[in-house]
Amino acid sequence: MSKKHTERHEMNRRQFLERLGLGSATAFSLMALEPLQVMATPRTAMSVLGDDAPEGQQMTYRVQNGTGEKISLLGFGMMRLPREQEKVNELVDYALANGVNYFDTAPIYGGGSNETATGLALSRHPRDKYYVATKMSNQNESLWPLEKSKEMYENSFRKLQVDYIDYYLLHSVGGGGMDNLRGRFIDNGLLDFLLEERKAGRIRHLGFSYHGDVKVFDWLLDNHDKYHWDFVQIQMNYRDWQHAGGRGRRRGDANAEYLYGRLEKLGIQCVIMEPLRGGGLANVSDDIRLQMARARKDDTPAQWAFRWVGSHPDVLTALSGMNRMEHLKENLATFSPLMPCTTVENELLARIADKMTGLPTIGCTTCAYCMPCKYGVDIPGNFAFYNKAVTEGRLPLPDSSAPDFEEKRKAYLEAYRAAIPTAARATKCQDCGECLKKCPQELPIPTHMSRLVEMTRKK
């Protein structure tokens, strides 16, 4: 490692410790201690424990700037809910009983049914026991006229069965650049309308979720004095901290370190999406699992990723899509209470992230915004299979002269055919480009599909 590279990493370590409430001198003295002696603890003013959690568990909460609201550090991402309302109710009831109080949805989730399911589940509980977040999902140009966007806004109240929305977001800004932002929110007067709604109390906190062109992110923050953003939702995990623009991702991606740093300087708290990077950080390679187990034997890779995110003091809540009870229970154990990462553990995750960026994965987070494909291709399913093969070392080597190439290729092909139905395979892609404008990651989906077709082509 070069001297310059080492100095940069030493500075990042110091800055990270300082963000966790430790001074420079303390930070450097702690870095010299043994691993178990170093505990990077969030600022006490920012983290509190619940007093009435069942069975001895205490959910970790963060205090919302300005209002003093206690928000569970584990947030419930409602994008991928079970189809049966009874199962949704069961998950919501268990989450609330165990201290989770932040629930995130959007009009476009679940094909438009998600807000209704969320509202049915939450409305069975006292209104002061939960905070609900939803979004202005007017990505389609047909919804840009002010009256159309207002209609979506009012429908959210009706479906959620509320008379105020706790956290309201401009959904997925950045895609399409500044022209898209102006068309959706500025030129049509929609943002002015939402600001008035916040003033009237129908919106308690106004923010935006960001994907895409960092110029849009910067412009919105440059105008913070005008809009007074209460929170911002960003994609952040230990890989995207310094490697958001890695292989398989769009070139213009801003590292999460930059996004978090800008918000921190302005005193704006973050809501975190993709803490597991579409599940990829829960399904790591065997050698990474071994490194994690040596450092902390009882934690799963998912728990490592969540602990890393939660260790940042300006994170208000970290969203997790929990459509199965076992996932909910594991996440509750991680956050009840949160055990922040030590400095040594942060160093380990930084090395793992460096290694991960050398893998030829596709930067899909399986959000499924690209779906449905009119030709039936399961886009996230194809990408998830490929990425899993990469992380598990089952991808055929690029060198076709390698001794095990043919064996690996046949095994990969057999597994692919077993996992992906014929009608949903990459070969069905017609390169129509419809998915390109839907993807918040701005991935070159048809290009990646061609790559997968080549991988599965008979030799």
269 neighbors 64 (Cβ within 8 angstroms): yes
Q: Count H helices and E strands in the chain, helices first.
A: 18, 11
Domain that holds residue 405: 379-456
Does residue 363 lie in a domain region? no
DSSP secondary structure letters along 191-236:
HHHHHHHHHHTSEEEEEEEE-S-HHHHHHHHHTHHHH--SEEEEE-
Q: Give the chain's length.
A: 459
For the chain, the domain total comes to: 3
Mean pLDDT along residues 282-291: 91
9 plus 60 within the same structural domain: no
How far is residue 165 from each of residues 11, 288, 328, measured CA to CA in Å?
40, 41, 24
141 plus 284 within the same structural domain: yes
pLDDT tens for 142-177 read: 999 999 999 999 999 999 999 999 999 999 999 889
Residue 75's pLDDT is: 98
426 plus 334 within the same structural domain: no
Rounded Cα–Cα distance for residues 335 and 63 (Å): 15
Greater confidence (245 vs 450) lies with 450
Nearest to 346 by CA among 35, 18, 28, 1: 35
Mean pLDDT of the chain: 84
5 plus 57 within the same structural domain: no
Question: What does the block give as tokens for 87?
Answer: 């199962």
Strands 70-72, 269-273: pairing kind: unpaired
Does residue 10 lie in a domain region? yes
pLDDT tens for 325-379 read: 999 999 999 999 999 999 999 999 999 998 887 767 787 878 888 989 999 999 9
429 plus 280 within the same structural domain: no
Does residue 362 lie in a domain region? no
Mean pLDDT along residues 55-60: 75
Does residue 367 lie in a domain region? no
Residue 285's pLDDT is: 86
Residue 28 in this model has a pLDDT that exceeds 80: no
Residue 57 carries which DSSP code? -
pLDDT tens for 261-280 read: 999 999 999 999 999 998 88
Does residue 47 lie in a domain region? yes
Rounded Cα–Cα distance for residues 288 and 290 (Å): 5
325 plus 393 within the same structural domain: no
Residue 338 carries which DSSP code? B
**Chosen domain end from 300, 323, 356:** 356
Does residue 369 lie in a domain region? no
Does residue 165 lie in a domain region? yes
Residue 196 in this model has a pLDDT that exceeds 90: yes
What 3-state DSSP class applies to 2? coil
CATH number at residue 232: 3.20.20.100
100 plus 219 within the same structural domain: yes
Question: What does the block give as tokens for 160?
Answer: 């959620």
344 plus 388 within the same structural domain: no
27 plus 112 within the same structural domain: no
48 plus 18 within the same structural domain: no
Residue 404 in this model has a pLDDT that exceeds 90: no
Residue 86 in this model has a pLDDT that exceeds 60: yes
pLDDT tens for 412-444 read: 888 888 989 999 988 889 888 889 878 877 788
397 plus 415 within the same structural domain: yes
304 plus 426 within the same structural domain: no
Does residue 388 lie in a domain region? yes
